Chain A
Amino acid sequence: MLETHGLTKSYGETLAVDALTFTAEAGRVTGFLGPNGAGKSTTMRLLLGLDTPTAGTAHIDGKPYRQLADPLRTVGALLDATWRHPGRSARQHLRWLAATNGLPDRRVGEVLELVGLGSVAKKRAGEFSLGMLQRLGIATALLGDPKVLLFDEPVNGLDPEGVLWVRQLMHSLAADGRTVFVSSHLLPEMEQTAQDLVVIGRGRLTYQGTMADFVHRAGSRGVRVHTPQADTLRAALAEHGIACTGEGDALVVSEVDSDTVGDIAFTVGATLHELSPLAGSLEQAYLELTGQTAEFTSGGAR
């Protein structure tokens, strides 16, 4: 488990993280969202003891990171995939890191195979693509077989296959009972990966809870219907005083659920080719929430 209490970090006048209190539970993937400059990376660095907080605490399994003995065995993290010497091979990169915490060399080969870099283990990391560097970074995080994992933007630069792989990896890590804390800008991807969410804006907590509750905030967007008897259905809906939009065979019915629309269609004998509830998306919910708190907004775009 991972928890912060009143975590604060200021750089001179700038308050990067402002009294942040949240937890990420074991056995779940917790997504960490926020606009650019909201303080996500600073929070990650504070969690790992790389930066010293101005106030507050960050605990991992009940201890500050700096008090963990051989921390790679407890916490694995990928903060920045470019943190490697370009002249050093992937294998040597992991070897020195394993040595610091007394991890066996055998483990290096295992994680390289696990992330799919086994065949390029002896290649210098300077020749790696961003996607390969992300895989190397994930190997770094997995090296000590840790209970708690932190990933900052792990799918950056990965191809669709790689993105899917990362998603499945996160799910399996959480299913093992590990704590997985992951930030990403790719909201549709995050929606499929995380069960819980921590959302921050300008260094402050704006949401902590489940993904389902958060998405529900965006509200229902109606029901989409496809039917060859669109005119019949339209008339029937109008009789019930239900508004609908759309042209031709496709209708979007608002303010009622799909059950009601299905029942009405059945009574008037309209064949349904599609009946799908338009649920709110993480993207909608997120944009509604962070609209007010973004550090850098793009003028007329909204």
Chain B
Amino acid sequence: MNVVRAERIKLFSTRAPWWCGALSVLAPLAFTTLFFALAGSEVTASVGNTQLATGIGRTVALVLAVLAATSDASWGTLRLTFQAVPTRVPALLAKGAVVVLVCAVLGLLAGVGSWGIASLVRPDADLALHSAADWRLVLGQTVTFAFTGLLGVGVGLLLRSTALALTLVLVWTQLVEGLVLLIPRVGPDVYPWLPFFAAGQFAGGDFTQAALNVTPAFGPWGYLAYFGGICVAFFVAGVVTANRRDA
């Protein structure tokens, strides 16, 4: 498990992961506080809606994961890693494992934290976790964040350039997924197949789902499998590519 230890030291010995980690938890907490304190009747105080802002945290976790891969590739430390671990794949899997674990913890904190702070802000509302679905919505962030970490490492390994990879994932999460709906006719048909919509169906607020006329393609667990499949595919592609090409 030497390689896992090495990747852990790597990740925690620079500043960016700490900032990203803090932001991916604090940003959802802050927005959830504002939503529940200020929105009044526009946002129903339900367990699902406590997770409305976790998507922001998930995007920051994605940035953390992308950086974990691209900073290695662009500063030459990936070459040193391959020099030290010439079979390459163990080192790349270790990076994936460390990032997945960190993102899972962030997801747990963001999910449970958002629910907790919403309960504090609106003590009058019934936000208790009654059903399995309620538990899934809150604790499910652990899984969606973890898969998002895997996706980020995969994209980072494929693209190698920090600027390129960050631009791509931010444009995708912040613009493309929202704008697809505006495409006449095909938009609403494509939207239910987008990866982060899928993640939100497993664990997230139902704000968009309720407000938009979109028919989900799967149930929550089907969507988790779909989202997880996409993330694993990107990760595998990243590992295979980095293993094959000249460093």
A and B found bound together: yes
A interface residues, Cβ below 8 angstroms from B? 45, 48-52, 65-66, 68, 71-72, 77, 79-80, 82-89, 92-93, 95-97, 99-102, 140
Residues of B close to A89: CB separation below 8 A: 13
What is the interface of chain B mostly: helix, strand, loop, or mixed?
A: helix
Across the interface, name the chain A residue whose C-beta is closest to B76. Answer: A83
Which residue of B3, B75, B84, B247 contacts A72 across the interface (Cβ within 8 Å)? B84
Residues of A close to B77: CB separation below 8 A: 83-85
Across the interface, name the chain A residue whose C-beta is closest to B74. Answer: A85
Q: Mark B1-35, 1 if CB is under 8 A from A, else 0.
A: 01101110110011110000000000000000000
Is B41 an interface residue when CB atoms closer than 8 A count as contact? no
Docked CA distance A140–B77 (Å) = 12
Contact between A80 and B76, CB atoms less than 8 A apart: yes
Residues of A close to B135: CB separation below 8 A: none
Is B83 an interface residue when CB atoms closer than 8 A count as contact? yes
Residues of A close to B71: CB separation below 8 A: 85
Closest 4 CB pairs of A and B: A83-B76, A92-B13, A99-B6, A100-B84
Residues of B close to A48: CB separation below 8 A: 83, 86
Is B124 an interface residue when CB atoms closer than 8 A count as contact? no
Which residue of B2, B83, B91 contacts A71 across the interface (Cβ within 8 Å)? B83
Q: Mark B234-247, 1 if CB is under 8 A from A, else 0.
A: 00000000000011
Which residue of A71, A80, A95 contacts B84 across the interface (Cβ within 8 Å)? A71
Residues of A close to B246: CB separation below 8 A: 45, 50-52
Docked CA distance A161–B14 (Å) = 32
Known: A92-B9, A102-B2. A86 touches B75 (CB 8 A): yes
Cβ distance A244 to chain B, nearest Cβ, rounded Å: 56
Contact between B82 and A100, CB atoms less than 8 A apart: no
Cβ distance B89 to chain A, nearest Cβ, rounded Å: 12
Across the interface, name the chain A residue whose C-beta is closest to B82. Answer: A50
Across the interface, name the chain A residue whose C-beta is closest to B78. Answer: A83
Contact between A85 and B91, CB atoms less than 8 A apart: no
Cβ distance B5 to chain A, nearest Cβ, rounded Å: 4
Contact between B86 and A87, CB atoms less than 8 A apart: no
B interface residues, Cβ below 8 angstroms from A? 2-3, 5-7, 9-10, 13-16, 71-72, 75-77, 79-87, 91, 246-247
Contact between B75 and A96, CB atoms less than 8 A apart: no
Known: A96-B9, A97-B6. A66 touches B75 (CB 8 A): no
Across the interface, name the chain B residue whose C-beta is closest to A125. Answer: B75
Docked CA distance A97–B79 (Å) = 11
Which residue of A79, A80, A100 contacts B85 across the interface (Cβ within 8 Å)? A100
Residues of A close to B9: CB separation below 8 A: 92, 95-96, 99
Docked CA distance A86–B72 (Å) = 11
Docked CA distance A52–B6 (Å) = 25
Cβ distance A136 to chain B, nearest Cβ, rounded Å: 11
Docked CA distance A102–B6 (Å) = 9
Across the interface, name the chain A residue whose C-beta is closest to B15. Answer: A87
Across the interface, name the chain B residue whose C-beta is closest to A95. Answer: B9
Residues of B close to A84: CB separation below 8 A: 75-77, 80
Docked CA distance A293–B81 (Å) = 35
Contact between B75 and A50, CB atoms less than 8 A apart: no
Residues of B close to A88: CB separation below 8 A: 10, 13-14
Docked CA distance A230–B81 (Å) = 65
Contact between A96 and B76, CB atoms less than 8 A apart: no
Cβ distance B18 to chain A, nearest Cβ, rounded Å: 11
Contact between A99 and B2, CB atoms less than 8 A apart: yes
Residues of A close to B72: CB separation below 8 A: 85
Which residue of B3, B16, B80, B86 contacts A49 across the interface (Cβ within 8 Å)? B86
Residues of B close to A85: CB separation below 8 A: 10, 13-14, 71-72, 75, 77
Known: A52-B246, A85-B75. A99 touches B83 (CB 8 A): no
Known: A50-B83, A87-B16. A100 touches B76 (CB 8 A): no
Residues of A close to B15: CB separation below 8 A: 87
Question: What would 26 A/B residue contacts be, using CB atoms closer than 8 Å?
Answer: A48-B83, A49-B83, A49-B86, A50-B79, A50-B247, A65-B86, A66-B87, A71-B83, A71-B84, A72-B83, A72-B84, A79-B83, A82-B76, A83-B80, A84-B80, A85-B10, A85-B14, A88-B13, A92-B13, A96-B7, A96-B9, A99-B2, A99-B3, A100-B3, A100-B81, A100-B85
Residues of B close to A86: CB separation below 8 A: 75
Residues of A close to B75: CB separation below 8 A: 82-86
Docked CA distance A95–B72 (Å) = 15
